[in-house]
Amino acid sequence: MEIVTGGAGFIAQTLIRRLLEEGQDVLALDNLVRGSLDYLKPFEAHPAFAFRNVDCSDKAALSDAVRSIDLGPGPHHIWHLAANSDIGAGNADMTIDLRDTFLTTVASVELAQAIGAARFHFASTSAIYGDHQGRGLAEDDGPLEPISNYGAMKLASEATIRAAVERFLPKADIFRFPNVVGLPATHGAMMDFVLKLKRDPSRLDVLGDGRQQKPYLHVTELVDAMLFISRTAQDRYNVFNIGPKDDGALVSFMAKTVRDIVSPGADIVFGEGDRGWVGDVPRVSFKIDRLTGLGWTPTMSSEQAVVRAAGEIASALGAA
Amino acid sequence: MEIVTGGAGFIAQTLIRRLLEEGQDVLALDNLVRGSLDYLKPFEAHPAFAFRNVDCSDKAALSDAVRSIDLGPGPHHIWHLAANSDIGAGNADMTIDLRDTFLTTVASVELAQAIGAARFHFASTSAIYGDHQGRGLAEDDGPLEPISNYGAMKLASEATIRAAVERFLPKADIFRFPNVVGLPATHGAMMDFVLKLKRDPSRLDVLGDGRQQKPYLHVTELVDAMLFISRTAQDRYNVFNIGPKDDGALVSFMAKTVRDIVSPGADIVFGEGDRGWVGDVPRVSFKIDRLTGLGWTPTMSSEQAVVRAAGEIASALGAA
């Protein structure tokens, strides 16, 4: 059984589609606070798909939810995607990332032990590195100094999984995500831009001066890389940066791309400073040499991913 | 006010003595599960000393305990020492380090915010690095791959504190401890050896083959380094390895040292393998160049620290 926490969230929709296409049984788990059953509509009639509404940070509830399903003979794989996705909210109230980003990991690791999971896949993030002023970061580089509670609780999760590999877990894959764009539109700067332009077609206000540069990957490529790593990496503990080959696209490029699709006549009004919010890393750059060395290479650049996703999101939100 | 979590524990006794000698007001907080009021006897009549029995992982209880004291005008400094100290127990039940090593940090950071603490001092550990086969590790080195829940929850704590510096904390010092020896004897291999020889003066069983090599520091030197760093390091976020200048002493050296003091005729019987328990890092070596560069150098070698502490512990336990 492929068990997906945060199963009604952004990344999960593409992952579940791929897993079902490959003939796997899938159990999606989500408390529907940030996720939505709408994202699971394409699968609800699929005989190999099941969903349970459960708070994945609640160890006992998670265990009960999984035990309500016939998991079959295995092997069982956990895809732990559940997390807070609102970095600003998590900085204002640290209990949010503690519960939704970290305690979901603790409960998922305990679930892995209880069901004898063969493999644990984890959605980590470039935010665990912190602000390295755009220095290209490889997986073994330090120091690791996350500047948001979100990044801190993702690093805490990695550490917990690493210790679990020492204790009982046969294999774990850590995927360090870049900024990911695509459908369904659930959160993030691109969706914000589309919604702002729907409200006021004459003007797009951007947090920060637009010069923040970040690597973007389209969600279809991200999931492709996750599946590739999960089947190819052979160590017991595998850590991979996943991202584009370039150093990223500027926020100003994203703003112009969305503006040109949604409301070509709008003025773009930039704010001040190089950070959109506390915990925002202005320049992110990380190396994917380990991933390309394993044999997977992205096909889209950051800008291409932004352009494609902007079209998809504008269309989905009825703004194109 | 100097607020010390884990205030009735091993390191705290020496820290509190030094702080009181320097004329500071001290509030010790401890749930007395692993700590003991015995260790605080030397201070109980001191007018600048106060103690509260409280579970430091319980945010509300911690807040209440601190509010029951007149903290004075400040500045307030938090010395966060509370943690699980039984690594094996923490690996058998991950809720132990989750609560005692990590949630104590979360509650202490929230306390720092609530009282406007000027500085946060944290007892971290070489265990956050994981097993690097004796490669000398500097503070900025990666990867960080703790192999015990204890190490994982210490790394989670560092990450939480780093994010707090971004959010509100004026200054934080992270002290990465080596193995620390000295009085009061609360836990650890040296105390185990003394107690085993008291039970059976003819034989000392040692976990592992005795070839594990670890840096040891005497608790008096550790606390001296902590105070030095707290007054000298000027960055908002300061991370320092604290340890001896050498690569450590062998467990076999510690066993012979204790045997020669407690029961010179005893046979030492080594086990098999290079790990005493799951999560035991067989060879630990880390660099203290940053600390010596700041101006502090240990006076004792690892072996000297072991010899001094063995005499102290054997004497305190009535075994010398």
How far is residue B40 from each of residues A152, A175, A192, measured CA to CA in Å? 34, 47, 56
Instruction: Return the higher-pLDDT residue of B271 and A48.
Output: A48
Q: Is B166 helix (H, G, I), strand (E, B) or coil?
A: helix
Residue B156 forms contact with A (CB below 8 Å): yes
In sequence order, which residues have a C-beta less than 8 Å from that of residue B92 and are 6 or more positions away? none
For residue B139, the chain A residues in CB contact (below 8 A) are 143
Tell if the CB–CB gap between A142 and B146 is shorter than 8 Å: no
Tell if the CB–CB gap between B163 and A148 is shorter than 8 Å: yes
Q: Taking the model in full, what pTM does it have?
A: 0.95
Q: How many residues does chain A have?
A: 320
Under-70 pLDDT residues of chain B = 276-279
Pairing type for strands B216-218 and A26-30 reads: unpaired
Dmax (CA) for chain A in angstroms is 59
Phi, psi of B306 (to 5 degrees): -65, -45
Candidates A122, A149, A277: best to mutate against B (most CBs of B within 10 A) is A149
Residue B142 forms contact with A (CB below 8 Å): yes
Q: What pLDDT shows up at residue B278?
A: 67
For residue B146, the chain A residues in CB contact (below 8 A) are 159, 162-163
**B-contacting residues of A 234-263, CB under 8 Å?**
237, 239
Any idea which residue has 């980590």 for tokens? Answer: A124
Q: Is B163 helix (H, G, I), strand (E, B) or coil?
A: helix
The distance of B96 to chain A (nearest Cα, Å) reads 12
Q: Is A30 helix (H, G, I), strand (E, B) or coil?
A: strand
- Taking phi over 0 as left and psi of -120 to 50 as alpha, with beta for the rest, A74 belongs to left
Average pLDDT over residues A8-32: 98
Q: What pLDDT shows up at residue B280?
A: 74
User: Residue A290 pLDDT more than 80?
Assistant: yes
In sequence order, which residues have a C-beta less than 8 Å from that of residue B73 and are 6 or more positions away? none
Tell if the CB–CB gap between B144 and A146 is shorter than 8 Å: no
The distance of B148 to chain A (nearest Cα, Å) reads 5
Q: What pLDDT shows up at residue B220?
A: 98
Q: What pLDDT shows up at residue B277?
A: 65
ipTM for this prediction: 0.93
Q: What pLDDT shows up at residue B276?
A: 67
Average pLDDT along chain A? 95
Q: What pLDDT shows up at residue A104?
A: 98
DSSP H or E run through A219: helix A219-232
Q: Is A207 helix (H, G, I), strand (E, B) or coil?
A: coil
Tell if the CB–CB gap between B143 and A145 is shorter than 8 Å: no
Tell if the CB–CB gap between A156 and B151 is shorter than 8 Å: no
Tell if the CB–CB gap between A160 and B144 is shorter than 8 Å: no
How far is residue A318 from each of residues A195, A198, A246, A313, B9, measured CA to CA in Å? 10, 9, 31, 8, 62
**Contact indicator for A133, A275 with CB cutoff of 8 Å:** no
Tell if the CB–CB gap between A160 and B167 is shorter than 8 Å: no
Q: What pLDDT shows up at residue A277?
A: 65
Q: What pLDDT shows up at residue B20?
A: 98
Q: Using omega within 30 degrees of 0 as the cis cutoff, is the peptide bond preceding B282 cis?
A: no
Alpha-carbon distance B156 to A158, whole Å?
A: 9
For residue A141, the chain B residues in CB contact (below 8 A) are 142-143
**Contact indicator for B82, B76 with CB cutoff of 8 Å:** no
Nearest to A160 among B140, B143, B152 (CB): B152
Order of all β-strands in the sheet with B119-125: B49-53, B26-30, B2-5, B77-80, B119-125, B172-177, B237-241
Q: What pLDDT shows up at residue A185?
A: 84
Average pLDDT over residues A198-208: 94
Alpha-carbon distance A96 to A90, whole Å?
A: 5
Tell if the CB–CB gap between B145 and A102 is shorter than 8 Å: no
Q: What pLDDT shows up at residue B272?
A: 87
Tell if the CB–CB gap between A147 and B156 is shorter than 8 Å: no
The distance of B236 to chain A (nearest Cα, Å) reads 13
Q: What pLDDT shows up at residue B283?
A: 76
For residue B110, the chain A residues in CB contact (below 8 A) are 94
Tell if the CB–CB gap between A109 and B94 is shorter than 8 Å: yes
For residue A128, the chain B residues in CB contact (below 8 A) are 159
Which sign, positive or negative, has the C-alpha torsion A82, A9, A30, A90?
A: positive
Average pLDDT over residues A90-100: 96
Closest by CA to A301, choosing from A232, A250, A231, A226, is A250
What is the CB neighbour count within 10 angstroms for residue A260? Answer: 13
Nearest to A94 among B98, B106, B142 (CB): B106
Which residue is closest to B277 within chain A, CA to CA? A167
Alpha-carbon distance A53 to B166, whole Å?
A: 35
Nearest to B162 among A141, A146, A278 (CB): A146
Average pLDDT over residues A121-127: 96
Average pLDDT over residues A93-121: 98
With b for 16 or more beta-carbon neighbours within 10 A and e for fewer, the A157-185 pattern comes to bbbbbbbbbbbebebbbbbbbbbbbbbbb
For residue B141, the chain A residues in CB contact (below 8 A) are 142-143
Structure tokens at B27: 């509030």
Q: How many residues does chain B have?
A: 320
Alpha-carbon distance A312 to A308, whole Å?
A: 6
**Contact indicator for B81, B100 with CB cutoff of 8 Å:** no
Alpha-carbon distance A34 to A5, whole Å?
A: 12
Q: How far is CA B233 from the centre of its chain?
A: 20
When pLDDT is cut at 50, 70 and 90, the band that residue A135 belongs to is confident
Q: Give the model confidence (pLDDT) of A233-278 as tens digits.
A: 999 999 999 999 998 999 999 999 999 999 999 999 999 887 766 6
Structure tokens at B152: 């994982």
Instruction: In chain A, count H helices and then E strands.
Output: 11, 13
How far is residue B155 from each of residues A278, B66, B124, B125, measured CA to CA in Å? 22, 26, 8, 8
Which residue is closest to B160 within chain A, CA to CA? A152
When pLDDT is cut at 50, 70 and 90, the band that residue A150 belongs to is very high
Closest by CA to A281, choosing from B145, B163, B110, is B163
Residue A169 forms contact with B (CB below 8 Å): no
Which residue is closest to A142 within chain B, CA to CA? B142
Any idea which residue has 């732990």 for tokens? Answer: A80
